[in-house]
Structure 1
Amino acid sequence: MEYLGQTQTATYMTGPRHLTHYTQLPTIGTMQATQRSYDTYPAPSPLRRSVTTLPWRPSAYYQSAMINPAIALTRSTIEPASTKSQLTELDAHRVPPVFTAARNALYTRYTPNDWLASNHSNYLASDRVRNGAERLRLESVRLCREADDKTKRTQNDVGKRLGERILDINFWKNELSHETDNILAETSQLLETKKNMEKFLAETANPLHIAQECLYNREKRQSVDLVHDNPEKKLIKEIDIIKRCQDKMRNAVDRANVQLSLNRAAQHELERDSTDKFVAENLDTTCHGLRNSSRGIAYHDGVHRIDNSVSVPETWAKYTSNNIRRSQSERAASKNLKNELDAIVNECNNEMWQEWNAVNVALNQRIQETTDARNKIQTHLSKVLQEVFDSEKNIELLKKAIQDKEAPMQVAQTRLETRLRRPNVELCRDPVQHRLVEEVGEITDTVDILQYKLREAENALQALLRTKAALEQDLSIKKNSLFIDREKCLTLRKTFPMAPRIASL
């Protein structure tokens, strides 16, 4: 019995073998002194190797064996069970009994069948290995060709996509450049309009100063002549109109500044986007020009696993489109604001001119009505005094009402604080707790309303006191009032102190 892939001289379940190559078999006497038995080598007990247990698998040419007394000493060998394995040619040459230990060497020979089987096995193994090697060689050649073709196709496809990407970048870069020029031109026009608006705003100080000077002169009227009459209302209205126009123009200037900032911000985004696309185009152009024979190419291990992308083609195009759309929107808003600034200048100029004439007419009428106004001013003064008295009483009443709410608030908050010390589950949010919280809220709201009314009453009282002082001043001297209205006010208001060319802006 042989194991596949093993030679007949292999050792199973025994200790190590020391192979020695011999050109010819040594003599029995010589080998008997050099060979040692492996019977004592540790091995599994049932399969421990010995001459009696495994006589057909010796480990060397010669080996000492134990003598079985059951076998006659006159027999040189043990008769084999099979006739095929008998060495009949050696039967005539009996080995002397003294050399019985060497008889096992007769069974170490290979048979011709073993020799033919070994050769046939070698032939088959050679054919199998050669066929496998040839198959592997052809498969390797085919794989190399396919890998080369696939790599070339992939590289060509990448180059094509890089070219398309460069065209896309160049298109958007041109769009950004065109939009940048437009936003720059619009910003320049808006800046010029803003400067004209600021110039007009500076010139409105002259009519405002005259109106304020007239009011200041009329404040010098004495006694019952110091009245809040129609000329004063017109003057105040004129001042309000001038100030409103100034506020409107300042607001327009501020809006223009904001719009200029937005224009510059949009311009900055366009320029930054254009700069980024310029850099990206240069990098992609460099990548597009790289070849297998180019200089500077090298391994960058792990670079394909790095993904620092912040956009996809859709968001990339949308970002630039949004920048251009934002710039177009800012340009449209800038153009509308520029037209609005021109309209504000004309509107303010017309309003101030009309109010200027209205104040002059009111002053002339007031000079005629001055002598008839004394009694009316006195009546108004008495009414103002009564209202001042009532307002003071009302203020005291509000203060007393606010003070009366302190004790209920303290009681409610004390109750809430006391109930916080309830133990364990007794710390229940019962209807009493809800009502106490509502009570604190109601008292707080009531106090806030009363304080708000108190502030309104105090403001009204201050306005009444100012009116009272003005009426008393108006009743002082009629001559002084007539002198102020006729000589001082009308003299200042003979000509409109603004250049008419401003209105044509």
Structure 2
Amino acid sequence: MAQPDEPHPPVVPSCPLPSKTCDVVPTERPRSCCGMALAGLRTAKYHLPEWHRRNAGVCFEAYTTGEQAERGRGEAKHLMKHAAASAQRAQGYSKATLGQRLQDLQFWRVELQKEIMELDAETNLLVAQKLRLERALDATEVPYSVVIDNLECRERRQPPDLVIDEVEKQLMKEADLIRDIRDLLKRTIIQAKSTPRARPEPTKTQPHFPRGKNPFESQKIGINPIYPIPCSSSASTPKTWAQFSHDNISRAEQEKLASVQLRSLINNIIHDASEDLRMQRAAVSEAFDSHCRECFFLGFSLQILKDIGDEEANIENLKKAIRDKEAFLKVAQSRLYDRSCRPNVELCRDEPQFRSAFKQIIPTHLSNTLTHLSNIPTLITLC
């Protein structure tokens, strides 16, 4: 703020002093006895009128000089009083402006300290989110190694079982998903690490006064008030200084907003990644369960086929047993026929006849059993 214009001291106008004429009695100078040889020259002594005229001139000059000195002393006293009053007013104005300046400094300092504290808290939250990202990245190593191990185990199968089924498709999909999630987490960690930690510069707003000195007394801090202090071309004005502090606060707000957005992005990434992994794990588990059920039914079918094979072998054994009993059957039938031709009392149902009849019944029983066993594979196939 420019200082008010100081009133100029009054100027006393100069006036000419009254002239004083000295009357000198004219006298006749003695004629020179030297004639024309001394024409134009004067003697070494002055006449009394000349001396009076000279003294009158000196007195007039002294009187004039005294009056000028008197006027100078009056003007000097007036200027000293005016300078003292102006200095007092300037000192009061400087104190007032310096006090206002200190209030502005304190205000901006408090604002910057507040922004620094909020930015530090936000930075700590961002660091915590970065740690979550790193832990999430470490947590994906075990599932990824398990998936890769399962795929490698399936690659080592023999050609009949080396098939691309639903389980392998889901495992490959899970491996690709985990790989993409790991790449995304790594990029997000790099972005979180590269985020600049914007901090305002509070030193620009702090007053630089020597310790123990009064900022309102310029003569006590080594400043000579007689000589002007040179001002650098790079010095700032109050407007640019306030704009600099405002820019610091605006930059801190922008960085804080960017940090909040980055933390929200990290939360969304971790949540979405966990949900995708959970859904894919459920899909893989469902594929494994379905494949296990298929294997169980396949094993049950293999057991049924084994039972069918056993029954067929049993049928063949029964057929062989029947064929082996045909000779005994023929002998028993021949004996029964011969005994049936006996006359009267000789036709007796004794023990040999019962034994022969029993031998005839055994092949019939075996034939019925063979017929029953032959129907079992057909029933199993229909089931």
Give the alignment's TM-score, normalised by structure 2.
0.58
Q: Which moved more, 1:228-237 or 1:315-324?
A: 228-237
Partner secondary structure for residue 156 of structure 2? coil
Aligned ranges 1:304-383 → 2 under 5 Å:
304-305=229-230, 307=232, 309-361=234-286
CA distance in 2, matches of 1:115, 1:327: 92
CA RMSD, 1 decimal = 3.9
Partner secondary structure for residue 229 of structure 2? helix
Per the alignment, residue 205 of structure 1 pairs with: 141
Larger Rg: 2
CA distance in 2, matches of 1:347, 1:281: 53
Quote how far apart the aligned CAs of 1:256 are: 2.9
Per the alignment, residue 131 of structure 1 pairs with: 67
CA distance in 1, matches of 2:246, 2:277: 46
Aligned ranges 1:16-31 → 2 under 5 Å:
none
Per the alignment, residue 128 of structure 2 pairs with: 192
- Is this contact kept in 1: 2:205–2:245, CA < 8 A? no
Is structure 2 residue 92 aligned with structure 1 residue 156? Answer: yes
- Is this contact kept in 2: 1:201–1:246, CA < 8 A? yes
- Is this contact kept in 2: 1:169–1:281, CA < 8 A? no
Per the alignment, residue 150 of structure 2 pairs with: 214
Aligned ranges 1:40-119 → 2 under 5 Å:
85-87=28-30, 110-111=46-47, 113-119=49-55
- Is this contact kept in 2: 1:234–1:358, CA < 8 A? yes
Quote how far apart the aligned CAs of 1:347 are: 0.9
Tell me the amino acid that sits aligned with residue 290 of structure 1. E
CA distance in 2, matches of 1:239, 1:162: 69
Partner secondary structure for residue 215 of structure 2? helix
Per the alignment, residue 182 of structure 2 pairs with: 246
Higher RCO (C-alpha 8 Å, min separation 6): 1
Cα distance change of structure 1 residues 142 and 240 upon mapping to structure 2, 3 Å threshold: same
Cα distance change of structure 1 residues 303 and 250 upon mapping to structure 2, 3 Å threshold: farther
Cα distance change of structure 1 residues 201 and 102 upon mapping to structure 2, 3 Å threshold: closer
Quote how far apart the aligned CAs of 1:355 are: 1.9
CA distance in 2, matches of 1:118, 1:153: 52
- Is this contact kept in 2: 1:187–1:334, CA < 8 A? yes
CA distance in 2, matches of 1:200, 1:169: 46
Aligned ranges 1:292-307 → 2 under 5 Å:
294=220, 297=222, 299=224, 304-305=229-230, 307=232
Quote how far apart the aligned CAs of 1:343 are: 1.9
Cα distance change of structure 1 residues 298 and 353 upon mapping to structure 2, 3 Å threshold: closer
Quote how far apart the aligned CAs of 1:173 are: 0.8
Quote how far apart the aligned CAs of 1:165 are: 1.1
CA distance in 1, matches of 2:59, 2:44: 24
Quote how far apart the aligned CAs of 1:110 are: 4.0
- Is this contact kept in 1: 2:133–2:266, CA < 8 A? yes
Cα distance change of structure 1 residues 285 and 230 upon mapping to structure 2, 3 Å threshold: farther
What do residues 195-215 of structure 1 show as CA deviations (whole Å, max 9, x unaligned)?
Answer: 333333322222212211111
Quote how far apart the aligned CAs of 1:115 are: 4.2
Tell me the amino acid that sits aligned with residue 30 of structure 2. L
Cα distance change of structure 1 residues 217 and 141 upon mapping to structure 2, 3 Å threshold: same
CA distance in 1, matches of 2:266, 2:39: 130
Quote how far apart the aligned CAs of 1:142 are: 2.1
Quote how far apart the aligned CAs of 1:225 are: 6.0
Per the alignment, residue 288 of structure 1 pairs with: 215
Partner secondary structure for residue 304 of structure 1? coil
CA distance in 2, matches of 1:284, 1:168: 20
Which residue, 195, 205, 217 being the options, matches 1:277? 205
Per the alignment, residue 434 of structure 1 pairs with: none
- Is this contact kept in 2: 1:186–1:331, CA < 8 A? yes
Provide the aligned length of Structure 1 versus Structure 2: 269
What do residues 267-300 of structure 1 show as CA deviations (whole Å, max 9, x unaligned)?
Answer: xx33xx224534x2655994524266x5x64649
List gaps (5 residues or longer) in structure 2.
Answer: 1-25, 296-383
Is structure 2 residue 80 aligned with structure 1 residue 144? Answer: yes
CA distance in 2, matches of 1:346, 1:160: 59
List gaps (5 residues or longer) in structure 1.
Answer: 1-82, 370-505
Partner secondary structure for residue 288 of structure 1? coil
CA distance in 2, matches of 1:227, 1:253: 39
What do residues 336-392 of structure 1 show as CA deviations (whole Å, max 9, x unaligned)?
Answer: 2222222222211121122223334556778979xxxxxxxxxxxxxxxxxxxxxxx
Give the alignment's TM-score, normalised by structure 1.
0.45
Tell me the amino acid that sits aligned with residue 277 of structure 1. T
CA distance in 2, matches of 1:175, 1:114: 88
What do residues 68-92 of structure 1 show as CA deviations (whole Å, max 9, x unaligned)?
Answer: xxxxxxxxxxxxxxx974538x9xx
CA distance in 2, matches of 1:203, 1:358: 20
